[in-house]
Amino acid sequence: MQRLLGNSQRCGVRPGIKPTGQSATISGERNPFRLEGEIALITGGGTGLGLAIARCMASAGARVVLAGRRAPVLKAAAATIGPRADFVVCDVTRFEAAGRVVARAEALFGPITILVNNAGIHLKKTALKTSDEEFLDVLKTHVLGSHAFTRAVLPNMLQRKHGSIIFIASMASLFGVPNVFAYSAAKSAYLGMVRALATEVSPSGVRVNAIAPGWIETDMSRQAMAGDPARKRRVLARTPLGTFGEPDDVGVAAVYLCSSAAKFVTGAVLPVDGGVSIGF
């Protein structure tokens, strides 16, 4: 994958090398990992995993639209990617506005063919200390927000019989993680959404998958580990690869799932976790 996408540290095009597009080859065949002609909308795209996914998709030839609440952050993020990137300002919890946000994104580059439901918030609290309001806030951002954006992009995808939707799940989707009760509920809901949606839309050419990142070096993961060195040691001890992942590890996985290399993959959950989900 590194050979196909360029520098894995930044998912950028190497200096002096021009993107090759769908005509790129692997042993004389068309490169199935390229994303030329694809237009991706990535919620929470200004920082962390969202930005890494955007950067990797742009490196693979896609045009990307970053969606989020902070215009200066989004503008700066899009500038680091270059002319293949632009942004729209939105709040994913304003569900009624999702259609208008998608329309603004499509006005920039064209019909959305890839949606990455990545926007999320973290709440480090036990079930006992999580209030109803806090629980609902997490569910609104992750579950209802992703549903609203999925519903907004689907009509055009179904009409064209082409599209890919990715939900960014979590290790908390796969096994019990203490002190993140609301977050675990929201990320676990993603897996049911992926499976149900895949059965509904895959016959019409729209694939739906999830990525379950392990512990990746991001601001959100650092917040989750803050003040808890014992937890950090436990995480690394149960990670077979013995290290934290990098955001671009998730980015190149997203490229794969949205590329023709994964044309027979739908309803799947891909752990990108250094082996955490199978470790002991």
Sequence-ordered list of residues with C-beta below 8 angstroms from that of 277, at least 6 positions apart, any chain: 171, 174, 175, 212, 214, 271
For residue 70, is pLDDT > 50? yes
pLDDT given for residue 28 in this prediction: 53
User: How far from 215 is each of 219, 224, 244, CA to CA, in Å?
Assistant: 11, 10, 6
CA max distance for the chain: 59
Q: Please compute the mean of the pLDDT values over residues 247-255 and round it to a whole number.
A: 98
Active site residues: 183
For residue 95, is pLDDT > 80? yes
Q: Where are the domains of the chain?
A: 25-271
Lowest mean pLDDT among 23-37, 84-98, 225-239: 23-37
For residue 139, is pLDDT > 60? yes
Q: Please compute the mean of the pLDDT values over residues 40-64 and round it to a whole number.
A: 97
pLDDT given for residue 236 in this prediction: 87
The verdict on domain 25-271 having CATH code 3.40.50.720 is yes
User: Do 40 and 117 meet the contact criterion of CB atoms below 8 Å apart?
Assistant: no
For residue 123, is pLDDT > 50? yes
pLDDT given for residue 260 in this prediction: 97
pLDDT digits over 145-192, tens only? 999 999 999 999 999 999 999 999 999 999 998 899 999 999 999 999
Which has more confidence, 59 or 26?
59
pLDDT given for residue 232 in this prediction: 84
For residue 17, is pLDDT > 80? no
For residue 19, is pLDDT > 50? no
pLDDT given for residue 96 in this prediction: 96
Residue type, 94: R
pLDDT given for residue 21 in this prediction: 38
pTM of the full predicted structure? 0.89
Crossing angle of helices 98-109 and 145-160, in 10° steps, is 50
Give the number of residues written for the chain.
Answer: 280
Token output for 39: 């237009």
Q: Please compute the mean of the pLDDT values over residues 85-102 and round it to a whole number.
A: 97
pLDDT given for residue 12 in this prediction: 61
pLDDT given for residue 13 in this prediction: 41
User: How far from 220 is each of 4, 27, 116, 120, 225, CA to CA, in Å?
Assistant: 29, 40, 18, 10, 9
Mean pLDDT value across the chain: 90
Band (pLDDT 50/70/90 cuts) for residue 226 is confident
